[in-house]
């Protein structure tokens, strides 16, 4: 649109006499991009770009930007320079870079502050949450995991990214988030990135089995499976981490479970054996002791059921069986 089509001739003449270059420049109120033609940009009063509008030829060049608000200085977007030509019209904003459609090239083409946020990457489904101590150490606690890289355990957690070459390619890559493993904890995750989930966590602390607990059929230490209940000192066990619902990249649930201790032989040594405990977990305290003081083998010291010790003395005939007396 030319000036003669927007301002009456008489008014234009008066404006020229009063320094109309500046007045006409103000009349071109930018609001949308200026139109350009073979002869250069054409002033558009409704334009967001004053290119082609009248100006004072003595006006110094200035910084300009015609892209959307908030995009300048982000990504690839940069400002340009605008000057006034000798014939008194503004040039286009030379050298500026405005937003472009986003492509997979390791750059923020649309200048929204996010690199390569193509729908395949920005809208990728979250497969899991980064809930390992290794994630916390990296400042990525509860971050969404949208892909898994080649490294084992939590070290393979990543987000989808562009791949294919030095300048990008397709949104089929996976950028791993965790670069340092952490100490293993009971959480259904391979925190130390050794390929094993919750390994080495079989001594998490002491615990007591609930009343009436029974040995698992495949873990009963007694021949014939009797007794079936966990008795004696075996009720005092250890917490062991148990994970369930496990898949390729972790387990759905994990927690400490109390497992019984294993039976131990009843000690039959003077000063240690008569401890009032069912060490072999068969339901009898201090068993395998002498029921009769005459029924003890020579040289042995036994703890009898009444909690007293008896030791055997050598008989004159040195027979295999001998009588026993109270020991000190």
* Residue 193 belongs to a domain: no
Q: Which two tokens stand for residue 60?
A: 């110094």
Q: What is the DSSP string of 2-31?
A: -GGGTS-HHHHHHHHHTTHHHHHHHHS---
What's the token pair of residue 168?
Answer: 């990008």
Joined tokens for residue 163: 């791949």
Rounded distance between C-alpha atoms, residue 259 and residue 281, angstroms = 14
Site of tokens 């966590």: 201
Indicate whether 198 belongs to any domain: no
Specify whether 255 is located in the same domain as 273. Answer: no
Cis bond upstream, residue 227 (ω within 30): yes
- How far from the centroid of its chain's Cα atoms is residue 256's Cα? 22
* Domain assignment present for 182: no
Axis crossing angle, helix 20-27 with helix 9-17, rounded to the nearest 10: 130
Q: What is the pLDDT of residues 173-219, one digit of tens each?
A: 999 999 999 999 999 999 999 999 999 999 999 999 998 899 998 89
What string of pLDDT tens digits covers the 328 residues of the chain? 333 333 333 333 333 333 333 333 333 334 445 555 556 788 987 777 899 999 999 999 999 999 999 999 999 999 999 999 999 999 999 999 999 999 999 999 999 999 999 999 999 999 999 999 999 999 999 999 999 999 999 999 999 999 887 777 899 999 999 999 999 999 999 999 999 999 999 999 999 999 889 999 889 999 888 899 999 999 999 999 999 999 999 999 999 999 999 999 876 554 444 567 888 898 887 665 544 444 444 445 455 444 455 444 444 444 444 444 444 3
Q: Are both 16 and 72 inside the same structural domain?
A: yes
- Evaluate whether residue 143 is within a structural domain: yes
Are 146 and 164 found together in one domain?
yes
Q: What spatial distance separates the first Cα and last Cα of the chain, rounded to whole Å?
A: 123
- Give pLDDT, residue 287: 65
Q: Show the domain range for 151.
A: 119-176
CA dist 145 and 250 (Å) reads: 13
* 91 belongs to a structural domain: no
CA-wise closest residue to 21 among 47, 58, 66? 58
The answer as to whether 183 is a domain residue is: no
Q: Is residue 199 part of a domain?
A: no
pLDDT of residue 279: 86
252 and 211 share a domain?
A: yes
Decide if 187 is inside a domain. no
DSSP conformation letters of 188-252: SS-TT-SS-SSTT-S-S-EEEPPTT-B--TTT--SGGG-S-B--GGGGEEEEEEEEEEEETTEEE
pTM for the predicted model, two decimal places: 0.62
Look at the chain and report how many structural domains it folds into: 4
């Amino acid at each position: 649109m030319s000036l003669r089509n927007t301002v009456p001739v008489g008014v234009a003449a008066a404006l020229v006499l009063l320094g109309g270059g500046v007045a006409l420049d103000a009349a071109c109120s930018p609001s949308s991009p200026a139109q350009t033609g073979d002869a250069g940009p054409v002033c558009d009063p409704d334009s967001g770009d004053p290119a082609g509008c009248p100006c004072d030829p003595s006006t110094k060049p200035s910084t300009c930007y015609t892209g959307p608000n908030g995009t300048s200085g982000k990504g690839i977007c940069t400002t340009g320079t605008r000057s006034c030509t000798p014939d008194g019209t503004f040039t286009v904003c030379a050298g500026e870079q405005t937003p472009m459609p986003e492509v997979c090239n390791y750059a923020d083409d649309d200048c929204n502050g996010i690199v390569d946020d193509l729908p395949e990457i920005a809208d990728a489904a979250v497969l899991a949450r980064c809930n390992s101590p290794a994630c916390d150490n990296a400042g990525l606690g509860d971050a969404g995991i949208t892909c898994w890289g080649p490294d084992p355990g939590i070290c393979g957690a990543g987000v989808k990214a562009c791949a294919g070459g030095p300048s990008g390619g397709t949104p089929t890559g996976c950028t791993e988030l965790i670069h340092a493993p952490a100490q293993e904890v009971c959480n259904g995750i391979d925190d130390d990135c050794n390929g094993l989930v919750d390994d080495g966590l079989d001594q998490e602390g002491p615990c007591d089995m609930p009343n009436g607990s029974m040995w698992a059929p495949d873990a009963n230490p007694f021949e014939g499976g009797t007794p079936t209940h966990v008795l004696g000192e075996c009720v005092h066990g250890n917490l062991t981490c148990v994970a369930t619902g496990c898949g390729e990249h972790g387990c759905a649930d994990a927690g400490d479970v109390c497992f019984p201790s294993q039976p131990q032989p009843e000690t039959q040594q003077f000063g240690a054996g008569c401890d009032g405990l069912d060490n072999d977990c068969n339901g009898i305290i201090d068993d395998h002791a002498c029921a009769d003081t005459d029924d003890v083998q020579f040289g042995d010291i036994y703890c009898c059921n009444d909690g007293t010790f008896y030791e055997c003395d050598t008989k004159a005939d040195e027979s295999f069986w001998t009588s026993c007396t109270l020991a000190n």
